[in-house]
Amino acid sequence: MISALLLAVIPALLLPWVLIPLKSRLLFAVLPVLPLALVYSKLIAARRTGMAVAAALLWAVAISVSTIGASAAFTEGAMKSIWHAAGFRDEMVRWVATGQGPEGNIAQFLPRVLLEYALVLALSAVSVGGAALLLGGLLLGYMNGYVGWVVAHSDPAVHPWLAALTAWPPWSVCRVVSFILAGTAAALWGFPRILRRGTPRAPIGRLLVGSVLL
């Protein structure tokens, strides 16, 4: 199973450095997720809940570290190759400068997050998690693109890791983990009911409770 995790994680570490200079949104959105989706779907089918969560979490860390580094090195390429990266950067810079924007207004922020959460549940349930992972990759991608931009434009006296951690606030980290738990619960729920009826069902209550709490 370690080899399966490596299959999911190693491409996430390498591909952003190759794809961002190509400035192709489609390639960046799809290619890094495919190895994870393959491993993840097999783990869901085998009801290996812990390993499925671990694979998704490790992938999220790997793709974040790599995308932030590549975005800091190729800032212009990142804004063109990562979906919504430029728009999200402008939104966050405006919020930091003025306090205006969804990040500081729950009336704007919460509906969007709840819609994304519902999409993760629905897509994961009908695709063994694969479609939800693609959506999660898009959401994670533009966040990491913004963080890479912050690293590239921060004060040279500030260590890049400190700039990255400042740009990645803890509530965003909690949201990523929450979505992973929710997607795994939905995939485990949908697989024996929609895609392969009659297979044993796995418990999902703790996943959902942890997801909602986060």
User: Residue 1 has what pLDDT?
Assistant: 60
Say if residue 95's pLDDT is above 80: yes
Distance in angstroms (rounded) separating the CA atoms of residues 113 and 143: 14
- Return left, alpha or beta for 129; rule: phi > 0 is left, psi -120 to 50 is alpha, else beta: left
Say if residue 118's pLDDT is above 80: yes
Residue range 64-83, pLDDT digits in tens: 999 999 999 999 999 999 99
DSSP letters along 136-176, please? HHHHHHHHHHHHHHHHHHS-TTS-HHHHHHHHS-HHHHHHH
Chain position carrying tokens 């790599």:
66
